[in-house]
Structure 1
Amino acid sequence: MQNKKMKNVMQGAFILTIASLVAKVLSAVYRIPLQNLVGNTGFYVYQQIYPIYGIGITFALSGFPVFISKLIAEQNSDERKVEVARQSFVILSVISFLIVVALLLGAPEIARGMGDEQLTPIIRCVSLMFIFMPFLAVGRGYYQGIFQMLPTARSQIMEQVVRVAVIIGVAYTAAHQNWNVYKMGTWAMSGAVIAAVVSTLYFLQLFRTKIFRSMPKQTGALAVPSNYGHLVKRFLVEGGTICLFAAIIILLQLIDSFSVKNGLVGQGLSNEAAKSLKGVYDRAQPLVQLGLVIATSFSTTLLPSLTKAVQKQNQYDFKRTAQSMFHIGLAISTAATVGMIALLPQINRVLFGNMEGTTAIRIYVIAVIFAALIATYNSVLQSLSIFQPAIFAFIMGLIVKLGFNQLAVVKYGINGASFVTVLSLAVMLICIRLRISSSLKENIRLDWRFLSKLAVASLTMAVVVYMTRLGLLAILPNLNRVELGLVIILIVLIGMLVFAGVAIELRLFTIREWLTIPYGKKLLKKLVK
């Protein structure tokens, strides 16, 4: 029975990983045509408010559902599972109500804090999506808690497809009808609300037949749970930690929304020039998001094995799995970062039409490495229900970003903002490492032999990619964006093969780690031959 349950966990984790991967790729990729259609200033308008949406979607997609699924999985009867889901709905309803009211009433002040009062209606529009957060988080969390992952996976894909379709449709219409960029931003953000409505409809049957039906008739829908205080505390500590670290990059972007444009104006730029340059700076975000998707999707394939080791109290398997997650996450994130840095002038031109902001984007993408490692440490700590080191590290990183961001922008422009983002993530990583126990440090060792091999593999790949880029562009000058895009794809494939070949030659990964990576077995066989 236990083996069957663990098999369900592993299969479900795989389904959710694929769905999450597709959703994250959609969430990153749509911003490229959006920027091309609405320009730098239109992209600035959208990206100023995007972090508010991003926090909401993190709460409803990957933060609270994970925590609620854990609560439900702890219960030993179907009745208790439904009761916990109902209590979670009550708590999230209160949280959502407070957030919606705060955003609706505080929108003018928030917009002024961002240096642009015309953002007010867009903030109010996006606030409405929080109304649906309890339905989405509890619906997904309940199904994950009973090991039925398909409903969560379907709702994730459904939500992103609807939202992206609305945004691209709005951007296309705005470009051809010459809409004001703020009108475009408001209608684009309505995609978040429409997508939330569609996803909520998907879970209505669950609420109608189970969760609402189970509520005590005499007290109504918002009955106060008997263990309300204990559950609220767990929501704030455990659920809050999961949500915060799932939204770590988004929260740093939120700080950028308040400080980058204002800092550029403080540097002497006009309002319009500052908006346009903030739009250029925001080009880094989809690239970082894609890099993180690639890096974390490989290492998270080991999460079920980590869960299994914790449940069985198998210290050896736990140590081996944690170390493998660290190795794979660090290697893939480093390779992705180095590759992007080497190709960024051309990537910038292909995706966004010119090479503006290349230096700032190059600095920003280094965040992929630190964010991937933070995610790995956080996964290990959450599997052991340890939260204090992560919370402390998160607070310290935010203090760095809040304290230095606008000063860095005034002095160094968007390059300064990129540097402070990377610095704040580095501080978080160092703080986590310093605060964890010595036994956990032993489980995730900083293996200098591994780091030196990774450095050789990454440097070799960077040199080959750089020289190949120079050679092909010398042979094929004056390429248009599509042709240059095909050349970049070819260079990326060459870089991947070079990195994999050097990694095998240096024995960067163990055989077990190679087999863990998707298609690693096939790649290993071909390259060894």
Structure 2
Amino acid sequence: MQNKKMKNAMQGAFILTLASLVAKVLSAIYRIPLQNLVGNTGFYVYQQIYPIYGIGITFALSGFPVFVSKLIAEQETTASKVRVAQRAFVILSGISVVIVAALMGGAPFIAQAMGDGGLTPIIRCVSLMFLFMPFLAVGRGYYQGIFQMGPTARSQIMEQVVRVGVIIVVAYMAAKQNWNVYRMGTWAMSGAVVAALVSTLYFGRLFWTKLFTRQPHTPVVQPKIPSYKQLGRRFWVEGGTICLFAAIIILLQLIDSFTVKNGLVAGGDSDRAAKSLKGVYDRAQPLVQLGLVIATSFSTTLLPSLTKAVQKRNQTEFKRSAQSMLHICLAISVAACAGMVVLLPQINQVLFGNTEGTRAIQIYVLAIILTALITTYNSVLQSLNVFQPAIIAFGAGLLVKLGLNQLAVTHYGIEGASWVTVLSLAVILGCLFVQVSDALRESLRLDWRFLTKLVITSFGMILAVHFVQLGLLRLFVGAGRLELGALILIIVGIGVLVFGGIAIGLRLFTIREWLTIPYGKRLLKKLEKIVSKK
């Protein structure tokens, strides 16, 4: 029975990971045609407000639903699960009303603080999506808590498809009819509200038949459930920590919205040039998002085994699972980051039409490695219900970003903002590692043999990608964006094969680690055949 439950949990985690992967890929890719259609300044307008949307979607997609699912899973009866869901909905409704009121009333002040009063209607538009947060967070959390991942997965994909569809249509209309960039931004952000409404309607049956309707067979003796005060405290500490770390990059981007454009103007750029440069700087965000999706989606498949080890108090299994998560996460994030850094001039040209800001983006993508490690460390801490180190570390990182960002931009331009982002993430990672207990630090430590193998594997991949890149670019001089895109895909494929081949040769991963990766067994067999032929 226990094995069947664990198997269902693993299958559910894989379904949810796959849906999250699709949703995040959609969320990253649409920004490329958006930038091509509306230009750097139009992209700047959208990206200035995007962090507010990003925080909202984190609350409704990967922050509060995870916490609500934990609350639901703790309850033993269906009646208690329903009552906890109802109380969670009330608490989240209060939070959402406060956020909407603050954004609606404070929109002019927020826009002025960002250095652009024209952003006011866009802020007010995106604030409306927070009205749907209680429905989405509780709906998704309830189904995840009873190990039904399908509804959550479908709602994620549905929401992103609707939102991306609205944004692309708006961008096309704006380009054809020469809309003002602020009008374009307002209509583009309306896609978030429409998508949230559609996704909320998907959960309509759950709320109408179960959560908003008195159950006919309510037991006489009501099961004991946490009070509003207890739940509120847990929402603040546990739920807040989960949300903060799920939105770590987005919150750093929010600070960028207040400081990068203002810093560029303070450094001598005109208002118009500063807006365009901020749009160039924002090109890094979809690339980092894609890299993180790849890095974290594989390592999170080990979360159920980590949770099982904690429940059984099996220290050896816990350490093994934690080490495996770190190995997989670090290796894939390093490979993704290294490949992007080498290919970024061509990637920038293919995706955005020129190579502006390549150096700043190359610096920014280092965030892939640091954020992937922070996410993994925090997952391990959450499995143990340890939250304080994460909150302190996060606060320290945000203070670094707040304190240094505008100063760095004023003196070093958008490259300064990229370096401060990397520094703030390094501070968060360092604080996390320093604060934990000696026993836990031992589980989170990376041994020198693995790191040495990873350096050799990554360096071998970089050399292969670099020389293949030089050869193909010389062979196809003057290639257009489409042809160049095809060449990049070929080079990436070669890089993956080289990385995988060297990894197998050096035994970078254990057999167990290979097998925990989705399709890892099949991939291992194919790579072993290729290596053996050579």
Give, in angstroms, the shift of residue 310 of structure 1. Answer: 1.6
1:83·1:214 contact (CA, 8 Å) conserved in 2?
no
1:72·1:84 contact (CA, 8 Å) conserved in 2?
yes
Q: Tell me how far apart the structure 1 counterparts of residues 152 and 475 of structure 2 sit (CA, whole Å).
A: 49
- Which has the higher mean CA deviation after the structures are superposed, 302-311 or 167-176? 302-311
Work out whether 1:304 is the aligned partner of 2:304. Answer: yes
Counterpart for residue 330 of structure 1: 330
> TM-score, normalization: structure 1?
0.97
Counterpart for residue 154 of structure 1: 154
Q: Give per-residue Cα distances to partners, 1:295-342, cap 9 Å, x unaligned.
A: 001111111111221222222111111000000000000000000000
Counterpart for residue 286 of structure 1: 286
Letter in 2 for 1:375: T
1:324·1:513 contact (CA, 8 Å) conserved in 2?
yes
Counterpart for residue 378 of structure 2: 378
Unaligned runs of 5+ in 2: 217-224
Q: Tell me how far apart the structure 1 counterparts of residues 495 and 280 of structure 2 sit (CA, whole Å).
A: 27
2:281·2:414 contact (CA, 8 Å) conserved in 1?
yes
Counterpart for residue 358 of structure 1: 358
Q: Tell me how far apart the structure 2 counterparts of residues 371 and 527 of structure 1 sit (CA, whole Å).
A: 28
2:323·2:446 contact (CA, 8 Å) conserved in 1?
no
Give, in angstroms, the shift of residue 45 of structure 1. Answer: 0.3
Letter in 1 for 2:402: L
Give, in angstroms, the shift of residue 452 of structure 1. Answer: 1.0
Letter in 1 for 2:396: M
Counterpart for residue 321 of structure 1: 321
Counterpart for residue 246 of structure 1: 246
2:88·2:138 contact (CA, 8 Å) conserved in 1?
yes
Q: Tell me how far apart the structure 2 counterparts of residues 468 and 6 of structure 1 sit (CA, whole Å).
A: 45
Counterpart for residue 482 of structure 2: 482
Instruction: Give matches, 1:89-488, under 5 Å.
Output: 89-214=89-214, 227-488=227-488
Q: Tell me how far apart the structure 1 counterparts of residues 215 and 421 of structure 2 sit (CA, whole Å).
A: 46
Work out whether 1:495 is the aligned partner of 2:495. Answer: yes
2:460·2:499 contact (CA, 8 Å) conserved in 1?
yes
Counterpart for residue 220 of structure 1: none
Secondary structure at 2:394 match in 1 = helix
Give, in angstroms, the shift of residue 502 of structure 1. Answer: 1.0
Q: Give per-residue Cα distances to partners, 1:178-210, cap 9 Å, x unaligned.
A: 101100000000000000000010111111111
Q: Tell me how far apart the structure 2 counterparts of residues 260 and 411 of structure 1 sit (CA, whole Å).
A: 11
Work out whether 1:516 is the aligned partner of 2:512. Answer: no
Secondary structure at 2:349 match in 1 = helix
Q: Tell me how far apart the structure 1 counterparts of residues 85 and 4 of structure 2 sit (CA, whole Å).
A: 24
Counterpart for residue 219 of structure 1: none
Q: Tell me how far apart the structure 2 counterparts of residues 156 and 481 of structure 1 sit (CA, whole Å).
A: 32
Q: Tell me how far apart the structure 2 counterparts of residues 288 and 260 of structure 1 sit (CA, whole Å).
A: 18
Letter in 1 for 2:146: I
Counterpart for residue 50 of structure 2: 50
Letter in 2 for 1:447: D
Give, in angstroms, the shift of residue 215 of structure 1. Answer: 9.2
Q: Tell me how far apart the structure 2 counterparts of residues 97 and 208 of structure 1 sit (CA, whole Å).
A: 21
Give, in angstroms, the shift of residue 99 of structure 1. Answer: 0.1
Taking every aligned residue pair, what percent have the same amino acid on both sides?
A: 75
Letter in 2 for 1:441: R
Q: Tell me how far apart the structure 1 counterparts of residues 30 and 496 of structure 2 sit (CA, whole Å).
A: 25
1:82·1:214 contact (CA, 8 Å) conserved in 2?
no
Change (3 A) 1:517 1:7: closer
Q: Tell me how far apart the structure 2 counterparts of residues 266 and 4 of structure 1 sit (CA, whole Å).
A: 61
Q: Tell me how far apart the structure 2 counterparts of residues 527 and 386 of structure 1 sit (CA, whole Å).
A: 39
Q: Tell me how far apart the structure 2 counterparts of residues 7 and 491 of structure 1 sit (CA, whole Å).
A: 37
2:84·2:226 contact (CA, 8 Å) conserved in 1?
no
Number of residues paired by the alignment? Answer: 521
Work out whether 1:504 is the aligned partner of 2:504. Answer: yes
Give, in angstroms, the shift of residue 138 of structure 1. Answer: 0.4
1:86·1:215 contact (CA, 8 Å) conserved in 2?
no
Give, in angstroms, the shift of residue 522 of structure 1. Answer: 2.5
Q: Tell me how far apart the structure 2 counterparts of residues 251 and 308 of structure 1 sit (CA, whole Å).
A: 32
2:129·2:196 contact (CA, 8 Å) conserved in 1?
yes
1:370·1:425 contact (CA, 8 Å) conserved in 2?
yes
1:44·1:276 contact (CA, 8 Å) conserved in 2?
yes
Q: Tell me how far apart the structure 2 counterparts of residues 198 and 446 of structure 1 sit (CA, whole Å).
A: 44
Q: Tell me how far apart the structure 1 counterparts of residues 214 and 482 of structure 2 sit (CA, whole Å).
A: 57
Give, in angstroms, the shift of residue 226 of structure 1. Answer: 7.3
Q: Give per-residue Cα distances to partners, 1:371-411, cap 9 Å, x unaligned.
A: 00000001111111110111111000000000000000000
Give, in angstroms, the shift of residue 5 of structure 1. Answer: 2.1
Q: Tell me how far apart the structure 2 counterparts of residues 442 and 214 of structure 1 sit (CA, whole Å).
A: 50
Counterpart for residue 71 of structure 2: 71
Secondary structure at 2:269 match in 1 = coil
Counterpart for residue 525 of structure 1: 525
> TM-score, normalization: structure 2?
0.96
Change (3 A) 1:277 1:141: same
Q: Tell me how far apart the structure 1 counterparts of residues 441 and 476 of structure 2 sit (CA, whole Å).
A: 50
Change (3 A) 1:215 1:518: closer
Q: Tell me how far apart the structure 2 counterparts of residues 190 and 259 of structure 1 sit (CA, whole Å).
A: 25
Secondary structure at 1:184 match in 2 = helix
Q: Tell me how far apart the structure 2 counterparts of residues 20 and 79 of structure 1 sit (CA, whole Å).
A: 30
Q: Tell me how far apart the structure 2 counterparts of residues 389 and 21 of structure 1 sit (CA, whole Å).
A: 28
Give, in angstroms, the shift of residue 19 of structure 1. Answer: 0.6
2:409·2:415 contact (CA, 8 Å) conserved in 1?
yes
2:360·2:415 contact (CA, 8 Å) conserved in 1?
yes
Letter in 1 for 2:154: R
2:107·2:123 contact (CA, 8 Å) conserved in 1?
yes
Counterpart for residue 220 of structure 2: none
Give, in angstroms, the shift of residue 525 of structure 1. Answer: 2.0
Q: Tell me how far apart the structure 1 counterparts of residues 489 and 526 of structure 2 sit (CA, whole Å).
A: 21
Give, in angstroms, the shift of residue 214 of structure 1. Answer: 3.6
Secondary structure at 2:147 match in 1 = coil
Counterpart for residue 222 of structure 2: none
Secondary structure at 2:508 match in 1 = coil
Q: Tell me how far apart the structure 1 counterparts of residues 116 and 521 of structure 2 sit (CA, whole Å).
A: 53
Q: Tell me how far apart the structure 2 counterparts of residues 517 and 8 of structure 1 sit (CA, whole Å).
A: 17
